[in-house]
Structure 1
């Protein structure tokens, strides 16, 4: 037990920092308190000096109103800090600042007796009492460094390898910088450290309902102060830090979100197989089951981070042909591909304006709906007032017979039918096409759309992104840029798509969209879609990240699969985790659990309504939020099936989506 040091009680007056501090006060330090590493932000919160010349001394700021209530306030505050914040710990009581709301500071009677129980806990050495003439400090943990208080950030190890560049804020609330700190190298020698500020610093308001919400963003989105790397070493080398935020990032920052880092993606958000196609940077780890399943799709880092870390609230990604939906499905998360143009794609590296969208990942349906409102509507939009009346079940995409693996999906659909009060409508999209197709040729829908993405979407990737990059790099450095295997293939393949093929691809895309809206899923009316469509994204079958392959994936987008439906129709599609199923892992030789997930599509323009419906549905069917780590659902007694399956039998290449 530590013996208490003599208490130094000081009365002082300070002012909040309103402008950048002089350079001599700029400092950033990494410190350890017990087993936890912390980062001291270089910008102090106070302009006037206090205390002594300590270096990164832990400190807690409390607000008290008067001496009579100080004891109860302190006791309640300490309990609240420990319960609601992952940055603060009792070690921050080594120094204490009591800020008073009264005009004159005074030392509360019996102050030493008041703090005596906590002195032994933290070896408190100094207590400072203050009144503030203007404004108040946010309560919570700080570092007292050279007589100034600096915000404390907790450092977490990125053991999933999901981040490409952790970030911290600057004096400009909308500009960031790369985190210059490392920690936990003895346990995670190749992992980056991610810094998160105390949740106690932030209080949501009507203007900033997401105040203090921690979010990560995909590394094809511009973040002011950082390079957009995509992750290509050559592209990162060519371009300096961005000076503006992508419009969607600016939008969430203005709502109060805190960006804690940029997240890995496949190179230029193309389609890559883990791990063989990842050359410039290692593929993130999917935490589910044995930890050696694929992350799937280009928003791989965004999904891996949300599935791995409880300290991260949301992540943003992009979806062109499945890059949010597929990672969400295999990692057991809520994810949404929104309607085309539901939110701005400006200052984000493009693939094709025909299908590029921005969406998010979350671990529970309620927060998922809240994020959707922030991105695609308004946080003040009215609540869902009625339910859809039709649920479509396209038979060509669902299993003809229900195996035990697929039973978890069927079980959820039955629960959904019971909740909404009517049964699904079984349809065949191919049969409806055969009866109503708007073209004269005798062709199936699958055949008609076989080359649509290949012809329509690939040329813009070449003309608007890859060709300008390759040309500029060669002009600058006198040599070609290094590219990952899939992009090396694309460099040779993309110029072979002709202008005539591109025009025909776009024409067929538009023909399908008009037909689909007329006969399958009409666009929303005033934001409401009366019809939903169900798709079987994942029944929890393994797909290992260590599979050897003959060569690069050589993905062109040829073919037509169920994941093409929402991009081609421009409507939203959300993924919801509904359970998990067991399998015997060839990695661990033990029984593991993988998530099972369903996709729900709705009419274009019904993004907020769709996620509101999912939140209400999951609440009404006792749906759980998902956890982090190996198990999406900790309560597995009534989830999944008894089938033990070591084979991967997915209907489509989950990792082959953009």
Structure 2
């Protein structure tokens, strides 16, 4: 958000008023709701709620923030990029504002403020005529227009400010107040109610120069749902950074300066203060121009808890289908937000076990577990340094690819001492994989119609690219690894459990219990399985180190014998992976999944899924939406639709190759943008 503090306004130079106002434009007047803090205004224009920070001006005395006299008014700032402004020029700008921004609307055309980068500028007769048809009340001009302002006559007041040119002020919607010293103003946020309960709270940038953020803390009075403050996209149009103005939600395990990281736990929140520093992964997206609008819900300490296990917070509502499907865990809030809200561009999550890919699958959006070590997790509540990763959800494959290529910079790779894995291979050729491996021990998808969607996808891939489908067996591939001896699925899973349990106890459990008991004299309130896991350490340091050693040696063999490089291809093959439900509905109520026509995401008693393989071997696993199928809803008692997705697994370190492969599929229309709301397609 641009803090409007750069303009030094002096006295109003002149005012010409006519009484020929065009009555055709019926606009909603600004309705002041409440003032929060010092000058932070909540107001309405029609049925849309807005928020603005304290008015800014360079008056010798602070501008009055009070709206006791009803003098606050909405206006639109337009930067003139030519000396003479025509009516068609203004019309094009206003039309673009309305088409490309959800914060701006015609109510902000009560007044228009023109500035110019030229020393002198003017409005021609067609411009005056067009402004009259808009029915504006006030035309406010910077001093660049002063020489020609006296020639303007129209159905509006003309106000000239004797101030320097204001080209550094962003264009877009504002609220303002005319005072003796000049024009005080503030940028505005549109408020969206989080009906899907995906967010902990909204956030917005602090204007105190600290680079921190403030918790918004405003909830719908009819029901305690958070309001999310969203700035105008127009403000970013003068910013040339690659992600300028793109809106992000961030999983509430990533530190954001000025905001308490709750980690999904009321007990953790009670012993935590606001973060002093933003996590480097999040600072990276801010540096690229991104705008953070809120922190999203997570399970306690990013566990794999299903919705019926959540205790401290109400689990997010997956918007797909009947609205009662599982949102999975632990990045459920981020996946739900991106699936539900078209005003949101990206949502950041994390994946230790399946916490990115499974929510992406049930929400029908793009998401990934990157190669292990691809992004630093400094300033992030950990589970396991050995297996934690950070990913991003998005509805648009091209936007998702652009962000991923920008975000995962080598400067932010993790130190290998944390991951315990070998270094990535050196540079590889730019070729794309020639084989897609179809794991017969984990496919086909359970729902025949979903398998038809998958087979249709594969037919399109082989038809568009020089790629063939080959049958494959995960179980056999493990048993054939040259090292360690006698490696199999059971050993893979047991070693993951050792790493997760040991490291989360050391990094989170033990410090939490000690600090909570010191401050509050009791054991913290925890959900299963942390309730027992944090009481004592189940594994020794030697067992943990042995598990990491087995993993390292198995990963070396895996990258030589299963997913390996050739002279011109980083990963010779891509493996398909389904960690969702095979096209069957998984509900947010436990008992609703206990029937042949529904499925748990992780069925009780099963020995792992293909979602466990990349956490162990460190490979990249991307979830992509393919289509949708119908199901008979136990909630609405009618047919509904749910997404069908698939995972694409490539060798560790081959992220850019897999991104290129996905881009090719998007180019030929095999992968498409999904919609927000009930249906993905």
TM-score (norm 2): 0.82
Q: Which residue of 2 aligns with 1:620?
A: 668
Equivalent pairs counted in the alignment come to 603
**Aligned 8 A contact 2:349 2:390 in 1:** yes
- Distance (Å, rounded) in 1 between the aligned partners of 2:238 and 2:262: 32
What per-residue deviation string (whole Å, max 9, x for no partner) do you get for residues 270-305 of structure 1? 12121x311111001100001111111200000000
Task: Please report the RMSD computed on the Cα atoms of aligned residues, expressed in angstroms.
Answer: 3.3
The one of 191, 209, 231 aligned to 2:242: 209
What per-residue deviation string (whole Å, max 9, x for no partner) do you get for residues 144-187 of structure 1? 1464110011000100101112101122373111114344x44x
**Aligned 8 A contact 1:369 1:608 in 2:** no
- Distance (Å, rounded) in 2 between the aligned partners of 1:390 and 1:561: 22
Taking the TM superposition and a 5 Å limit, the aligned residue runs for 1:278-289 are: 278-289=310-321
Q: State whether structure 2 residue 188 is matched by structure 1 residue 152.
A: yes
Q: State whether structure 2 residue 626 is matched by structure 1 residue 563.
A: no
**Aligned 8 A contact 1:231 1:281 in 2:** yes
Does the C-alpha gap of structure 1 residues 410 and 349 become closer, same or farther in structure 2, counting only changes over 3 Å? same
SS at match of 1:596: strand
**Higher mean C-alpha displacement, 57-66 vs 123-132:** 123-132
Q: Which residue of 2 aligns with 1:261?
A: 294
Q: Which residue of 2 aligns with 1:517?
A: 559
The one of 531, 538, 541 aligned to 2:573: 531
**Aligned 8 A contact 1:97 1:129 in 2:** no
TM-score (norm 1): 0.84
- Distance (Å, rounded) in 2 between the aligned partners of 1:317 and 1:557: 27
The one of 385, 392, 395 aligned to 1:363: 395
- Distance (Å, rounded) in 2 between the aligned partners of 1:63 and 1:127: 17
**Aligned 8 A contact 2:502 2:538 in 1:** no
Question: Cα distance, 1:438 vs. partner?
Answer: 2.7
Q: Which residue of 2 aligns with 1:167?
A: 203
- Distance (Å, rounded) in 1 between the aligned partners of 2:319 and 2:566: 37
Question: Cα distance, 1:534 vs. partner?
Answer: 1.3
Q: Which residue of 2 aligns with 1:489?
A: 532
- Distance (Å, rounded) in 2 between the aligned partners of 1:475 and 1:401: 50
Q: Which residue of 1 aligns with 2:475?
A: 430
- Distance (Å, rounded) in 2 between the aligned partners of 1:437 and 1:542: 39
- Distance (Å, rounded) in 1 between the aligned partners of 2:484 and 2:428: 41
Q: State whether structure 2 residue 391 is matched by structure 1 residue 391.
A: no
Q: State whether structure 2 residue 458 is matched by structure 1 residue 413.
A: yes
- Distance (Å, rounded) in 1 between the aligned partners of 2:138 and 2:527: 52
Q: Which residue of 1 aligns with 2:620?
A: 572
- Distance (Å, rounded) in 2 between the aligned partners of 1:5 and 1:618: 56
The one of 439, 449, 456 aligned to 2:492: 449
- Distance (Å, rounded) in 2 between the aligned partners of 1:486 and 1:122: 63
- Distance (Å, rounded) in 2 between the aligned partners of 1:108 and 1:418: 58
- Distance (Å, rounded) in 2 between the aligned partners of 1:530 and 1:495: 41
The one of 479, 496, 513 aligned to 2:522: 479
Question: Cα distance, 1:30 vs. partner?
Answer: 0.8
- Distance (Å, rounded) in 1 between the aligned partners of 2:515 and 2:397: 44
**Higher mean C-alpha displacement, 163-172 vs 57-66:** 57-66
Does the C-alpha gap of structure 1 residues 543 and 169 become closer, same or farther in structure 2, counting only changes over 3 Å? same
**Aligned 8 A contact 1:67 1:108 in 2:** no
Taking the TM superposition and a 5 Å limit, the aligned residue runs for 1:375-390 are: 375-377=407-409, 385-390=430-435
**Higher mean C-alpha displacement, 234-243 vs 354-363:** 234-243
The one of 207, 213, 218 aligned to 1:181: 218
SS at match of 1:495: coil
- Distance (Å, rounded) in 2 between the aligned partners of 1:214 and 1:400: 35
What per-residue deviation string (whole Å, max 9, x for no partner) do you get for residues 12-63 of structure 1? xxxxxxxxxxxx9951111111111011123637668799975431111112
- Distance (Å, rounded) in 1 between the aligned partners of 2:566 and 2:270: 44
SS at match of 1:617: helix
Taking the TM superposition and a 5 Å limit, the aligned residue runs for 1:243-262 are: 243-262=276-295
- Structure 2: runs of 5+ lacking an equivalent: 1-16, 22-35, 140-154, 412-426, 594-600
- Distance (Å, rounded) in 1 between the aligned partners of 2:533 and 2:666: 41
What per-residue deviation string (whole Å, max 9, x for no partner) do you get for residues 85-105 of structure 1? 000000001122111333246
Q: Which residue of 2 aligns with 1:142?
A: 174
Taking the TM superposition and a 5 Å limit, the aligned residue runs for 1:71-82 are: 71-82=87-98
**Aligned 8 A contact 1:96 1:128 in 2:** no
**Aligned 8 A contact 2:575 2:648 in 1:** yes
Question: Cα distance, 1:619 vs. partner?
Answer: 2.3
What per-residue deviation string (whole Å, max 9, x for no partner) do you get for residues 248-268 of structure 1? 011111110011011100011
SS at match of 1:347: coil
SS at match of 1:343: coil
- Structure 1: runs of 5+ lacking an equivalent: 9-23, 634-658
